[in-house]
Amino acid sequence: MSSESRQTHFGEQTVPLDDKQGLVDDVFHSVARRYDLMNDLMSAGLHRAWKDALVTAVPPPQGETAFSLLDLAGGTGDVALRVADAGGAGTRVTVCDINADMLAVGAERAMKRGLDDRVTFEQGNAEELPYPDRSFDCATIAFGIRNVPRIDRALTQAYRVLKLGGHFLCLEFSSVDVPGLDAIYDYYSFHIIPRIGQAVAGDHEAYQYLVESIRKFPKPKAFARIIEQAGFRRVTFTQMTGGVVALHSGWKL
């Protein structure tokens, strides 16, 4: 089947695969300036703990030891800045994101925090990474993979740019399986988050999409198999906060 005729999900809608990226880009252009504030409001600050767990799983070395990390779909640099803070002078982070507005917010943040010498922001598509093979020690992607139209391509590219022995870590919303919590989570997701999105970022639809895209994303066991199909070994995942998010890990061996 040609890619033109293939369909995919954009939230609840079914759209041609080739149209999804443009729609996703519109969402993040619209919310870029309010994105970090919205994360705090929507998750009641929990996204900080989830991202800290991701950084702990990396973990960047102390001191001068050279360590290069690629943060895919890294947006406003939230993960990248945490990695740079946690690591020593030898830790270098490249944020790669398709959206120039998200990157501009991130570059400003890095400058204000005095981390712009160790964190760089580059525009690129996770499906066609502009880096040579075996360039990075670690590749991370937080809350990004479900927005990429061709997830298999992004995973294959992450595998390609990792050095042998390199570590891949993916933090993504998952499926809540704690009785009682699932109903509360559903109500909060579908009724509260889009309203916060409207009030704070002036965009109800963008946050409706974000919530719906979470529901369409594969369950963690299925996603672990997709990661393995890209070539990664020793693939594991850990669920957090009753399954609200999962941290997946795989190695290029």
Ligand X SMILES: C[S@@+](CC[C@H](N)C(=O)[O-])C[C@H]1O[C@@H](n2cnc3c(N)ncnc32)[C@H](O)[C@@H]1O
Nearer to ligand X, 34 or 180 (CB): 34
User: Cα separations (Å) of 63 from 120, 163, 167, 228?
Assistant: 19, 21, 20, 33
Instruction: Give the Cα separation of 183 and 130 in Å (integer).
Output: 42
Instruction: Give the Cα separation of 47 and 171 in Å (integer).
Output: 10
* Smallest separation, CB 236 to ligand X (Å): 21
Instruction: Give the Cα separation of 127 and 114 in Å (integer).
Output: 30
Q: Does 137 bind ligand X (CB under 6 A)?
A: no
Query: How many residues in the shown chain lie near ligand X by CB under 6 A?
Result: 20
x/- track of binding to ligand X for residues 36-65 (CB under 6 A): ------------------------------
Q: Does 97 bind ligand X (CB under 6 A)?
A: yes
* Smallest separation, CB 176 to ligand X (Å): 18
Q: Does 230 bind ligand X (CB under 6 A)?
A: no
Residues 117-136 that bind ligand X (CB under 6 A): 125-127
The counts of H helices and E strands in the chain are: 10, 9
x/- track of binding to ligand X for residues 11-40 (CB under 6 A): ----------x--x---x------------
Q: Segment near ligand X (CB under 6 A), from 7-15, 55-63, 68-76, 226-234?
A: 68-76
Cβ neighbours of 88 (radius 10 Å): 15
Cβ neighbours of 112 (radius 10 Å): 9
Per the CB < 8 A criterion, the answer to whether 124 and 96 are in contact is: yes
Query: Which residues sit at the interface with ligand X, rule CB under 6 A?
Result: 21, 24, 28, 73-75, 78-79, 97-99, 102, 125-127, 142-144, 147-148
